[in-house]
Amino acid sequence: MSYLLSAAKLQSYYRCPRAYYFRYERRLESAAFFGSAALGTSLHQALAQIYQDWHYQDPIPRWDWFEYCWNQQVGDLTSSQITEGRSILRRYYHTFITTQSAMRRPVAVEGRIQGCLRVDNLEFTLSGRYDRLDYLDDGLELIDYKSAKEIEPSEPDEIDLQIGLYYLALEQRYQRSLKRLSLLYLRTGEKISFEATPAHREQVESVVSDLAVELRRDRRWQPFPGAQCDRCAYARYCPAMRPDPDPLPDDARPEPGLQLVLSL
Ligand code: SF4
């Protein structure tokens, strides 16, 4: 039995083991986020099609190709979203395509990657999704499209864990190193890149190793109070927030730890 980890889970554990426990071990609902993701989804799908289906016989596609792919993906968008998406793609085209001598064929688009890590006799599967994976001369570049209206401030440690997870998984799958993770902000045309090094993989190994100890032996899930508590959905259950925290709701998943250990 393998314990499944994603970048979001690793980041959550790193931020606060107790919140991780509530969310992933006891499966308590976190606050739901609402909002229209439809435009972002259509943009991701259009970009995947643009790179996936292009014939690569001409160095650079004409704008018509982008327009064609966009029109395939507009689905149920409103007319103003269709117009907005088209102008976002146009900016992308002029910023990232026409400035190059050729549009390079990616290794893969809209992919899922998995890596394995065995720690303390527990097997972890590290799983992640990516929007695009490109070859560089000396390794791989992972591209993550961002369609949010504003550039999200990224916590350095959290980005590092994301990089480390991909570093480990890509190394196992392609026997090549991840050199860069690049966040590409579609609305502003900005590209923010982070260099990847073996130290990122080692950081992930260290966090997974802590988690293994927690799962195997400690099960303390120590609260780690900080700025994140202000928006934590589990504060009412948290002993660091209240001397007498609420009991967990009846539909919380039973403690799964013993079962995990016994099944190995
Ligand atoms: S309130 Fe703070 S310390 Fe408690 S679980 Fe949430 S993030 Fe962790």
Determine the distance separating the centroid of ligand 1 and the alpha carbon of 199, expressed in angstroms.
Answer: 28
* pLDDT one-digit tens code per residue, 76-117: 789 999 999 999 999 999 999 999 999 999 999 999 999 999
pLDDT band at 35 (very low <50, low <70, confident <90, very high): very low
Percentage, residues of the chain above pLDDT 90: 73
Spatial neighbors of 98 by CB under 8 A, at least 6 apart, are 60
Is residue 74 lining ligand 1, measured as CB closer than 6 Å? no
The answer to which of 64-68, 143-147, 154-158, 184-188 has the lowest mean pLDDT is 154-158
Determine the distance separating the centroid of ligand 1 and the alpha carbon of 235, expressed in angstroms.
Answer: 6
Determine the distance separating the centroid of ligand 1 and the alpha carbon of 221, expressed in angstroms.
Answer: 11
Is residue 235 lining ligand 1, measured as CB closer than 6 Å? yes
Determine the distance separating the centroid of ligand 1 and the alpha carbon of 215, expressed in angstroms.
Answer: 19
Is residue 16 lining ligand 1, measured as CB closer than 6 Å? yes
The rounded distance, in Å, linking the Cα atoms of 109 and 25 is 32
Determine the distance separating the centroid of ligand 1 and the alpha carbon of 34, expressed in angstroms.
Answer: 22
- Check if the beta carbon of residue 187 is closer than 8 Å to that of residue 87: no
> Relative to the CA of 234, which ligand 1 atom is closest?
6
Is residue 223 lining ligand 1, measured as CB closer than 6 Å? yes
Looking at residue 228, its pLDDT comes to 86
Counting ligand 1 atoms within 8 A of each CB, the residue from 12, 28, 241, 246 with the most, and so the one to mutate, is 241
The answer to which of 103-117, 170-184, 209-223 has the lowest mean pLDDT is 209-223
Task: Please report, for the chain, the start and end positions of each structural domain, with discontinuous segments joined by +.
Answer: 38-97
Dihedral angle computed from the Cα positions of residues 80, 31, 143 and 14, in that order, rounded to the nearest 10 degrees: 160
Dihedrals phi, psi of 26, to nearest 5 degrees: -105, -5
Looking at residue 153, its pLDDT comes to 61
Written as six digits, the tokens of 92 are 């992308």
Q: How does the average pLDDT of the chain come out, rounded? A: 89
